[in-house]
Structure 1
Amino acid sequence: MTSQMINAAAAGAWELGDRTVNRIGFGAMRLPQTGEAFAADAALRDRDQAISVLRRAVELGVNHIDTAAFYFSPLRSANELINRALAPYLDDLVITTKVGPGRSPSGQWLPHATPEQLRGQVEENLRQLGRDHLDVVNLRIVGTDSIAERFGALAELREAGLIRHLGLSNVRPHHLAEAQTIAPVVCVQNMYGIGASPEQKEFLDLCGEQHIAFVPFYSIAGTGRTAGATTGDNDEMLAIARAHGVSTAQIRLAWTLHQGPHVLAIPGTGDPGHLAQNVAAGSLRLSEDELTALNSLRHETV
């Protein structure tokens, strides 16, 4: 496969509210630093390289970028890199951000935002990105408690015009149902990849039935806290990758996209070569036998 010739449109498109995006997007979490995301000893990403990768992503047809104000390391902020690289923004570019968690300037994680603090987080994203509104804002949570008060605060900001569309991150089905009584939900962003549980697959399918985009994070196996897949690269997966002339990471991305037309991938990287491979994965077509083999890995662990 010649990755350089592939455009993100090869993966097909889906709707985020009234916006249409290619199903292969870009996650900005790894832009500010190299190595493990948020690790204390992570090295700074070269600024010019990060900017170059963002611009190249758009050249390759990526029009959906996932970010957050808490994606930063010393001297580097994902939002400000996006602003520097891509402003003035193309009309078809959709930038999705997250609120809920917070980090102090030193990088220490802070308690999840109160409804009152959420407006400040939205305004910080607006300032860093240099925009007067946010295309999509996901409320990211931890736990199973009610989200009505927090999601309601974001719904008010949507009514005020600061937010165009709302989504949810790291949630369960009852959170989605609760949020939908307050305002429309255009996407759910949850951990998902080869090795996902039957309950996770049911939630993915539920979103599809409701025409809600499902956006997996950590779908490519990593290390430490960013490991999304729970299976290793066994002989069968290696054989499938060899048959297509691609990496196992590309097979994992392709498998994710095969889970439904409403699934949007947001692989992140600061490496131009990996970017091209990620975009190229959107054109991979796995056979039924290959999908069956990869599905059989779902309940294995390493």
Structure 2
Amino acid sequence: MSPSASPSPGTTATGAVRPAGPATLAGRTVSRIGYGAMQLRRADGRAPAVALLRRAVELGVDHIDTAQFYGDGFVNSVIREAIRPEDGVLVASKVGAASDPGGVHSLRLAQRPEELRAGVEDNLTSLGLDRIPLVNLRRTDSGPGLRAEGDQVVDLDDQLAVMVALRDEGKIGAIGLSSVSQDTLRRALPAGIACVQNAYSLVARDDEDMLGLCAAEGIAWVPYFPLGGGLPGLPKVTDEEAVATAARSLGSTRAQVGLAWLLHRAPNVLLIPGTANAEHLDANIAAGALALDDETLAALDAVPTRPGDIAL
């Protein structure tokens, strides 16, 4: 899964056209539409999961987001089987949580420095890599999900120290942050931050200022829950009338409108929509070609941020 030379910034190492064009992530040129691998847990068996990843590469995806705690290692093992060095795919993983089948969302936090290091080692083993190009530190400062308590309340500086050490050792290539506040991001900037992954969509835009900060600092903004939803009680982009109106006008799906809106938001926005369905994968990639005119963008921009009743 090492990079290989691309013919041009507009095409991947395999010669596929980059969906939505090129962007920079962890010092490499990648397609603005990648793939979030968490949903591979729901694939109808291992062979269909491998086939879905091969299809993604054919469509120009060269940025895959994963974690050891997705399917307790199953997702990473599928990536290891499906992705070849000549594909030039950048694999991004994350640490800060661990599998817990009996816990909330089948996760438990793993925020302590020794747990972060162990998480990187586990990802290296399951992915079959000597170096992970990008590893995101999943904190609990913002967004839906678990909140740290007790010994899981760990100072950012202690976490960054081990992440920088892992980078210096060559085990990771770049450091990202996930579920963080703007204050946390500012404190982390001296360590060198390649991307931020926060919950962000048309209906959840509390992080507008942080998106602007990332753009100014040359940091990729890689939103999770790009269509809202994701957890019970969270609003969904596809429920908005303005989205439905735009979809009817454009002859597209509502999900494609929501993804296209994100791509229009700022040039440093990269998408990692996930699915276990091949047709949905094709549709997500096709959203990169969806043009939104000024009138449509204005109507979508007028949709308010909607607080959700988040079930944890």
TM-score after normalising by structure 2:
0.84
Structure 2 counterparts to residues 1-302 of structure 1, below 5 A: 9-33=18-42, 45-72=44-71, 77-86=74-83, 88-90=84-86, 92-104=88-100, 108-143=106-141, 146-181=155-190, 183-197=191-205, 199-222=206-229, 224-225=231-232, 227=234, 229-231=235-237, 233-300=239-306
8 Å contact kept, 2:62–2:88: yes
8 Å contact kept, 1:230–1:301: no
Q: Which amino acid aligns with 2:208?
A: K
Offset of residue 231 of structure 1:
4.9
Which secondary structure does the structure 2 equivalent of 1:209 belong to? helix
Higher relative contact order (CA 8 A, sep 6+): 1
Which secondary structure does the structure 2 equivalent of 1:137 belong to? strand
Distance in 1 separating the partners of 2:168 and 2:70:
26
How many residues are paired up?
280
Q: Which residue of 2 aligns with 1:4?
A: none
Which secondary structure does the structure 1 equivalent of 2:239 belong to? coil
8 Å contact kept, 2:227–2:258: yes
Structural RMSD (CA): 2.1
Offset of residue 246 of structure 1:
1.0
Offset of residue 236 of structure 1:
2.8
Distance in 1 separating the partners of 2:59 and 2:291:
19
Distance in 1 separating the partners of 2:29 and 2:54:
20
8 Å contact kept, 1:67–1:78: yes
Determine what percentage of the aligned residue pairs are the same residue: 39
Q: Which amino acid aligns with 2:26?
A: G
Which secondary structure does the structure 2 equivalent of 1:97 belong to? strand
Distance in 1 separating the partners of 2:29 and 2:250:
29
Structure having the larger proportion of residues in helix: 2
Distance in 2 separating the partners of 1:134 and 1:242:
42
1:87-108 CA distances to partner (integer Å, 9 max, x unpaired)?
x323621000000011246664
Runs of 4+ displaced beyond 2 Å: 88-92, 104-113, 143-146, 221-227, 229-236, 298-302
Q: What are structure 1's unaligned runs of at least 5 residues?
A: 1-6, 35-44
Offset of residue 146 of structure 1:
3.5
Which secondary structure does the structure 2 equivalent of 1:216 belong to? coil
TM-score after normalising by structure 1:
0.86
